[in-house]
Structure 1
């Protein structure tokens, strides 16, 4: 079995794990956030190639949550709640997040990206819900969120891809 995939050690060491976290067979916490490596990933109904494909993700960097492990297979869940199995080599420990996907049906909703953690900092951008970016660090309340070379801080509660209170850098 290859090296387990998940949160890089430097992130895991300081991460506040969500309630109910346990260590999976890989030795890494369950649940945990990761992202999709390739732009096309088959989601299967069971942990093996013999199982039918139930969905195909077509977005590299999409954040997903690993909720179960079996051998080299990982059961994942996306922001919409879709669950299934993918081979571990199709996942990356790179942390990404989706800006408030629960607000994406509101055409007027915009989320602020601040120059530093805190609402008193200047706003560097306003982003639409559903935008995907890279999460570089989280303080437990704020996450540094990079979207297409625009870097700023967003409230952690407005991101799907970091647990409430989770800290890492």
Structure 2
């Protein structure tokens, strides 16, 4: 093989890798909404039937009963979203039952809500496992939250409902 042939073969391999990476990135978007997948949402209502498949004819396996509960969307089909809660329980729910409002759920018992985003800040409250918080914004390590009349900062590691590398305003 000549040097030109080797270079062309190498370029072909690199182009194939780039196309594969682009295809993989495209696969990370929902086929219906074109929003990132997976993504976090919250339950809009205080009761939502969770079905085995994406239609009203499918059996109800679960009923979610906590308004504001964070969920992760893992699939889309028409007006249906495949979701899971923090325990991995889930199925298909109608898109009208989820909201883009970001919430989280406390994973560490008596997790502190702090006055500022620093571990030595004043503790404003302590939240039990399972408390739902509304996210105001999240940085690399801290999220500003609201819960039970308290506002403050919590470490991301104490919460479920936000990705470890995710930041938002």
**Normalising by the residue count of structure 1, what TM-score does the alignment of the two structures yield?**
0.81
More helix by share: 2
Q: Following superposition of structure 1 onto structure 2, how do residues 17-32 of structure 1 map, counting pairs within 5 Å?
A: 22-25=28-31, 26-32=33-39
Aligned partner (choices 67, 90, 98) of residue 74 of structure 2: 67
Q: Extract structure 1 runs of 4+ deviating beyond 4 A.
A: none
Residue 89 of structure 1 corresponds to which residue in structure 2? 96
Unpaired stretches in structure 2, ≥5 consecutive residues: 1-24
Contact 2:62 2:90 in 1 (8 A): no
- Aligned partners of 1:50, 1:43: CA distance in 2, in Å? 12
Residue 127 of structure 2 corresponds to which residue in structure 1? 127
Contact 2:113 2:152 in 1 (8 A): yes
Q: Following superposition of structure 1 onto structure 2, how do residues 37-116 of structure 1 map, counting pairs within 5 Å?
A: 37-100=44-107, 103=108, 109-116=109-116
Measured after TM superposition, the shift of residue 157 of structure 1 is 1.1
Measured after TM superposition, the shift of residue 116 of structure 1 is 1.1
Q: Deviations over 1:42-96 (max 9, x none)?
A: 0000000010000001111111000111111000000111020000011000101
Larger radius of gyration: 2
Q: Indicate the structure whose relative CO is greater, using CA pairs within 8 Å and at least 6 residues apart.
A: 1
Residue 145 of structure 1 corresponds to which residue in structure 2? 145
Secondary structure class of the residue paired with 1:89: helix
- Aligned partners of 2:115, 2:34: CA distance in 1, in Å? 36
More strand by share: 1
CA root-mean-square deviation? 1.3
- Aligned partners of 2:167, 2:118: CA distance in 1, in Å? 16
